[in-house]
Amino acid sequence: MEDKAIRIINLHKSFGMQKVLDGVDLEVEKGKITVIIGKSGGGKSVLLKHLIGLIKPDKGSIWINGIEITKLKEKELNEIRIKFGMLFQEAALFDSMDVFDNIAFPLREHTKKAEKEIEKIVENKLKQVGLLRFGDKMPAELSGGMRKRVGLARALALDPETILFDEPTSALDPIISLTILELIKETQTDLNKTYVVISHDLMGMFRIADKVAFLSEGKIIEYGTPYEIRKSKNEVTMEFLNATKIPGFSGGEL
Partner 1 sequence: MINVLLKPLENIVREFGRISMMLTESIYLAFVPPFKLSYIFKQMEFIGVRSVFVIILTGAFTGMVLALQSYYGFKKFGSEGLVGATVALSMTRELGPVLTSLMVSGRAGSAMAAELGTMRVTEQIDALTAMALNPIKYLVTPRIIAAFLVLPVLTVISDFIGIIGGYLVGVKLLGINEGAYIDKMIKFVELNDIYNGLVKSAVFGVILSIVSCYKGFYAKGGAEGVGRATTEAVVASSVTILVTDYILTSFMF
Residue 209 burial (CB < 10 Å; 0-12/13-18/19+)?
buried
Q: What is the arrangement of strands in the sheet containing 4-15, beginning at the earlier edge strand?
A: 18-29, 4-15, 59-64, 67-68
Cβ proximity to partner 1, 45 vs 177, nearer residue:
45
Burial class of residue 124, CB neighbours in 10 A (0-12, 13-18, 19+): middle
Residue (50 or 211) nearer to partner 1, CB: 50
Residue 90 binds partner 1 (CB under 8 A): yes
User: Within 29-88, which residues bind partner 1 (CB under 8 A)?
Assistant: 49, 52-54, 74, 77-79, 81-82, 84, 86, 88
Footprint on residues 177-236 left by partner 1 (CB under 8 A)? none
Q: Are 168 and 180 within 8 A, CB to CB?
A: yes
Q: How far is the CB of 110 from partner 1 (least distance, A)?
A: 7
Rule CB under 8 A: is residue 101 a binding residue for partner 1?
A: no
Q: Which is nearer to partner 1, 94 or 227 (CB)?
A: 94
Report the distance separating Cα 142 and Cα 145, nearest Å: 8
In this complex, which beta carbon is closest to partner 1, that of residue 110 or of residue 120?
110
Q: Is 3 in the site for partner 1 (CB under 8 A)?
A: no
- The number of residues that bind partner 1 (CB under 8 A) is 23
The CA-atom distances, in angstroms, between 29 and each of 35, 46, 209 are: 11, 20, 12
Residues that bind partner 1 (CB under 8 A): 49, 52-54, 74, 77-79, 81-82, 84, 86, 88-90, 92-95, 105-106, 109-110
